[in-house]
């Protein structure tokens, strides 16, 4: 009932010529791939370029961040209307790099989630603990706090459109992937928390895993019952690697 979703977060990589070439290679590589959704999130300056490449392809466009207001005196920010205009379907919100380097709080993430939903953008809401928090046995508390503060005021029709991405901070860009069991444990908690608060609609919410996802670990991760896809950083800059991740196995419906 949950269509798997694989999203490439290009972070601050991709001048327009590079972005065009990468997007074209991804489109070619996932052609004919059914039973899953694929999206790429280039930097803002490459969104329109990538959009041209993605037209008529099944690959969707995502943004990496967004302000919650439609317009105003917010120097340096980009609004939901602007993302809509360039054809974004998804927007990544509350990435740990935004939280860590740019001071994004759960309250800001919550406002962004509401704004995204109001503008027909699918929010991909990132949560995850640091290494210190994990070692102190606080993973559940940290992640459930982030989920609660960002999402739990949403009603069931809204929450079913949200995507959650569990990205343990210690696994991002480190090559140290969470084991499928570690990831499943947290994904299961997140779904349980959603079920306790919004009810059965929790079964429809996609929960992605992010943190050093590579071609050689995606298949094992995707076997877990509550892992519904991946948010891929470094490996999404290599078309061949990203396409292999999008073509994770087992698949019932590969070409
Ligand atoms: P890496 O795949 O490079 O670890 O990055 C994960 C991430 O932050 C995706 O949003």
**pLDDT tens digits, 65-89:** 999 999 999 999 999 999 999 999 9
Q: Whole-number mean pLDDT of the chain?
A: 96
pLDDT attached to residue 8? 98
Q: Is the pLDDT of residue 253 over 90?
A: no
Atom number, ligand 1, closest to the C-alpha of residue 231: 9
201 burial level (CB within 10 Å; 0-12, 13-18, 19+): middle
Q: List all residues whose CB is within 6 A of at least one atom of ligand 1.
A: 9, 95, 167, 172-173, 210-213, 231-235
CA of 7 to the centre of ligand 1 (A): 10
For 180-217, give the secondary structure using H, E and C: HHHHHHHHHHHHHHHHHHHHHHHHHCEEEEECCCCCCC
Q: Atom 5, ligand 1: which residue's CA is nearest?
A: 233
Backbone torsions φ then ψ of 89, nearest 5 degrees: -105, -35
**What one-character DSSP code corresponds to residue 41?**
E
- Per-residue model confidence as pLDDT tens digits over 83-101: 999 999 999 999 999 999 9
pLDDT tens for residues 110-169? 999 999 999 999 999 999 999 999 999 999 999 999 999 999 899 999 999 999 999 999
Q: What pLDDT is recorded for position 251?
A: 58
Cα 171 to Cα 182: distance, rounded to the nearest angstrom: 11
Q: What is the pLDDT of residues 4-23, one digit of tens each?
A: 999 999 999 999 999 999 99
pLDDT of 193 strictly over 60: yes
Mutate to test the pocket of ligand 1, among 212, 217, 242 (most ligand atoms within 8 A of CB): 212
Q: Is 167 a catalytic residue?
A: yes
Rg (CA), the chain: 17
What residue ranges define each of the domains in the chain, with the CATH number in brackets? 5-87+97-254 (3.20.20.70)
Per-residue model confidence (pLDDT) at position 152: 86
What is the average pLDDT across 213-242?
A: 98
At residue 255, does pLDDT exceed 50?
no
Residue 254: what pLDDT?
42
CA–CA distances in Å: residue 179 to residues 96, 176, 221, 227, 252? 20, 9, 8, 12, 24
Known active-site residue 95: yes
DSSP state of 223: T
Q: Choosing from 67, 119, 167, 187, which is the catalytic residue?
A: 167
């Amino acid at each position: 009932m949950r269509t798997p979703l694989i999203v490439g977060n290009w972070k601050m990589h991709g001048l327009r010529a590079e972005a065009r070439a990468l997007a074209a290679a991804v489109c070619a590589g996932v052609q004919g791939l059914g039973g899953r959704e694929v999206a790429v999130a280039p930097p803002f300056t490459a969104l329109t370029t990538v959009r041209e490449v993605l037209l008529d392809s099944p690959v969707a466009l995502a943004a990496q961040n967004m302000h919650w207001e439609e317009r105003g005196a917010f120097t340096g920010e980009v609004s939901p209307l602007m993302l809509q205009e360039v054809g974004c379907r998804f927007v990544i919100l509350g990435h740990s790099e935004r939280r860590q380097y740019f001071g994004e709080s759960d309250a800001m993430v919550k406002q962004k989630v509401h704004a995204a939903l109001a503008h027909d953008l699918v929010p991909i809401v990132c949560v995850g603990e640091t290494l210190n928090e994990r070692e102190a046995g606080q993973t559940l508390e940290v992640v459930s706090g982030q989920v609660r503060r960002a999402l739990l005021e949403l009603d069931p029709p809204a929450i079913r459109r949200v995507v959650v991405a569990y990205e343990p901070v210690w696994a991002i860009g480190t090559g140290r992937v969470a084991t499928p069991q570690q990831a499943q444990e947290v994904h299961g908690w997140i779904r349980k928390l959603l079920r306790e608060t919004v009810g059965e609609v929790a079964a429809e919410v996609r929960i992605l895993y992010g943190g050093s996802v590579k071609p050689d670990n995606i298949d094992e991760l995707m076997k877990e019952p509550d892992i519904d896809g991946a948010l891929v950083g470094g490996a999404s800059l290599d078309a061949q690697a990203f396409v292999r991740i999008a073509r994770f196995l087992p698949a019932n419906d590969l070409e």
